[in-house]
Structure 1
Amino acid sequence: MAEHPIQGLMTTAMESIKDMVDVNTIVGDAVQAPDGTVIIPISKVTFGFAAGGGEFNSKSKAGIECDDSGKRPVESEGNGKFPFAGGSGAGVSINPVAFMVVGQGQIKLLPVNVNSSLEKILDFIPELIEKANDAYKKKIKIKKELKACEKNAKEEEDEEE
């Protein structure tokens, strides 16, 4: 069976998409900073594809043509095959999503979207806990120092009497 013309359209469009989109489009080439940190861009790739076509002839249907007056059907002298018309199209959208930063003994995912604050919050939780512990330790130390000062003040009062 002969290949239908729309198969050629679809094959061409799909090969073009294949050439445009590969893993390096999604996870980009790594960039090394002077301090040894490696930055890897990560993108979101979206694509759409459509193809369509049809066989038609303005004067005939199913191998029957109209006569010169356009009123009476007569058999077609052609092979009964209609001409094909079709088209295809594709679109690709690439949007940066985040940057993976690897260096200084840690890996961080820095989102590009400002609305992705949840990841930022999760990154700051350990730092927040550490600061809360430091503040608590300072508070305990201040309380001990206050008690020591009060004790010294009371002892000085007792000695004066």
Structure 2
Amino acid sequence: MAKLLYSATMSLDGYIAGPGGDMSWLTDHLGPPNPTADRLLSQVGAILAGNGTFGGSDPNQGTDKEGAFGGQYHGPVFILTHRPPDEPVEGLTFVGDLKTAVAKAKEAAGDRYVNILGANVAKQCIEAGLLDEVLVFIAPVLLGDGVQLFNNPGGERVRLEPLPGESAHWYRVAH
């Protein structure tokens, strides 16, 4: 059964995107191959992203590395949105509610991960008790403003447990 994993690259001060969802800051931090990211890519069976991520910028825009995982991911992608585009977008499935989006993505992923892209979708999954794991890559930069990895003022604390044998910032959500 597929697990839901929220993975993101975060600035040292906790932002996954700059103001307005800008991802250009990440370009300077896309360096040599990362064994954890490479291993993750082979374990992703589907991607679930929000409309902000779908409509946001890509640090590799206009290059052969444009797209998820530097253009290396080629699988099912589900976009959670109440505002789907008027025309179909090849390779993307637009879904209007979280429960249906998660079910479709999990079915498509099989026994691999559904990789959550986007802070808002991750927050919704956490609030619904659906998120299984969190993986954070940390870039050596301070953005000062933007989209936080997780922002839930007044919300409940979410306890995370390090996954055994992982040297990266990879955690299991304690339910």
Q: Same fold (TM over 0.5)?
A: no
The structure richer in strand per residue is: 1
When Rg is computed on C-alpha atoms for both structures, the one with the higher figure is: 1
Question: What interval of TM-score do these two structures reach, taking the shorter chain for normalisation?
Answer: under 0.3
- With a CA cutoff of 8 Å and minimum separation of 6, indicate the structure with the bigger relative contact order: 2
1 or 2, which has the higher helix percentage?
1
